[in-house]
């Protein structure tokens, strides 16, 4: 418990630093948020109206005062009002979040379903034809960027075969299949190589050779010993991927018109909707910090070497 509290306290300055830097960068961007807001709505107003609106939003205050006001409101659950829609930012995020959570769950499940057995097979069949084919497929998956994979899937599954919708029509399973496949292909390729390397590393250790010499079957060694160590590597990678997926994969959501927080952020950037952008940055920071904290704690629980190192301090 002390270890968890100590790790949590170390993360608070990181979050505060992220909020300050993101707020500073948007302040230095030089774009007039109020002018952009009226321009996006196709409205021309007098300078007096713009000045009054700035004063109402607190944009006429010094930077440090704007930042402290925003931070105070954010800590009390108030993320501001959208400059474009006039809607509460937190309400907008909560409305888009279920779609992103659904896509995250599907992508992680499919990634583990593909990468774990393929990585194990590649390791136990090292340097065979199967291993070479799996490594080649992994290389291709890593080499292709997500937007290119998305274009290929749109062409073959959406236009040529017409088995899946080109644009998401909701948050149903059929609409989620293509963005899920797009995200899973690259992640599976990366994870398969990591699982293969982790399993091979464990298979070459002395305790595995000793277990084989005592007549313990290869299956027992693999599933009771080797996979426990290999799962630590996979868990670390999954923590990073869950963070990025929960933040919303902006490009993929925009391509497939998947109505999640990633698409919300892209629309906000195009419209210069600074409260939405700032909230999205904060959302990403919180996700990465707490997902990695959870992974760190789980790693600490599963690996006795880390527990011994912490307890010896």
**What DSSP line would sit under 172-240, residue for residue?**
SHHHHHHHHHHHHHHHHHHHHHHHHHHHHHHHTSHHHHHHHHTT--HHHHIIIIIHHHHHHHHHHHHHH
Q: How far apart are alpha carbons 119 and 191 in whole angstroms?
A: 8
Residue 244: per-residue pLDDT: 65
**pLDDT, tens digit, for every residue of 115-131?**
888 888 888 888 889 88
Banded model confidence at residue 39, pLDDT cuts 50, 70, 90: low
Residues 35, 166: one domain?
no
Q: Are residues 32 and 140 in the same domain?
A: no
In a domain? residue 4: no
Looking at the fold, whether 61 and 107 belong to one and the same domain comes out as no
CA–CA distance, 12 with 199 (Å, rounded to integer): 36
3-state secondary structure of 144: coil
In a shared domain, residues 61 and 124: no
Task: Check whether residue 127 and residue 253 sit in a common domain.
Answer: yes
Residue 308 has pLDDT above 50, yes or no: no
Predicted local distance difference test score (pLDDT) of residue 302:
62
Query: Which pair of structure tokens corresponds to residue 245?
Result: 């997926």
pLDDT over 70 at 299, yes or no: no
CA dist 14 and 285 (Å) reads 9
**Between 299 and 198, residue with greater pLDDT:** 198
Residue range of the domain that includes 267: 91-311
pLDDT band at 310 (very low <50, low <70, confident <90, very high): very low
Same domain, 46 and 140: no
pLDDT in the model for residue 86: 76
Kindly state the average pLDDT of the residues 255-259. Answer: 84
Q: Is residue 307 domain-resident?
A: yes
The total number of structural domains in the chain stands at 2
Which of 28, 46, 75 terminates a domain? The answer is 75
The per-residue pLDDT for 304 is 55
pLDDT of residue 267: 84
Q: Is residue 11 part of a domain?
A: no
CA 167 – CA 272 distance, rounded (Å): 25
Query: Do 126 and 71 have their domain in common?
Result: no
- Confidence band of 3 (pLDDT split at 50, 70, 90): low
| pLDDT tens digits, 11-30 | 788 888 888 888 888 777 65
Tell me whether residue 80 is in a domain: no
Is 137 domain-assigned?
Answer: yes
pLDDT at 119: 86
Report which of 230, 161, 153 is spatially closest to residue 184, judged by C-alpha positions. Answer: 153
Going by pLDDT thresholds of 50, 70 and 90, the confidence category of residue 111 is confident
Looking at every residue in the chain, the average pLDDT score rounds to: 78
Are 214 and 65 contained in the same domain? no
């Amino acid at each position: 418990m002390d270890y968890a509290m100590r790790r949590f306290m170390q993360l608070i300055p990181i979050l505060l630093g992220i909020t300050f830097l993101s707020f500073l960068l948007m302040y230095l961007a030089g774009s007039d948020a109020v002018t952009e807001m009226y321009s996006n709505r196709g409205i021309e107003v007098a300078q007096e109206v713009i000045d009054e609106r700035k004063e109402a939003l607190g944009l006429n205050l010094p930077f440090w005062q704007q930042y402290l006001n925003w931070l105070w409101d954010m800590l009390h659950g108030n993320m501001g009002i959208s400059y474009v829609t006039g809607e509460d930012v937190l309400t907008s995020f909560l409305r888009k979040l279920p779609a992103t959570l659904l896509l995250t769950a599907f992508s992680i499940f499919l990634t583990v379903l593909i990468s774990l057995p393929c990585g194990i097979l590649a390791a136990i069949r090292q340097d065979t034809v199967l291993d070479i084919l799996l490594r080649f497929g992994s290389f291709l998956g890593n080499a292709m960027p997500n937007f290119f994979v998305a274009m290929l899937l749109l062409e073959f599954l959406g236009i040529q075969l017409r088995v899946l919708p080109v644009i998401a029509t909701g948050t149903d399973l059929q609409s989620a299949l293509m963005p899920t496949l797009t995200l899973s292909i690259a992640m599976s390729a990366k994870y398969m190589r990591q699982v293969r390397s982790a399993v091979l590393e464990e298979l070459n250790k002395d305790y595995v050779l000793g277990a084989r010499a005592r007549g313990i079957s290869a299956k027992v060694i693999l599933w009771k010993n080797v996979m426990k160590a290999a799962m630590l590597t996979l868990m670390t990678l999954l923590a990073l991927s869950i963070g990025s997926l929960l933040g919303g994969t902006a490009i993929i959501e925009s391509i497939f018109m998947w109505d999640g927080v990633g698409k919300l952020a892209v629309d906000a950037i195009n419209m210069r909707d600074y409260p939405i952008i700032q909230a999205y940055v904060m959302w990403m920071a919180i996700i990465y910090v707490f997902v990695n904290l959870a992974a760190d704690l789980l790693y600490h629980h599963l690996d006795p070497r880390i527990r011994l190192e912490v307890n010896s301090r």
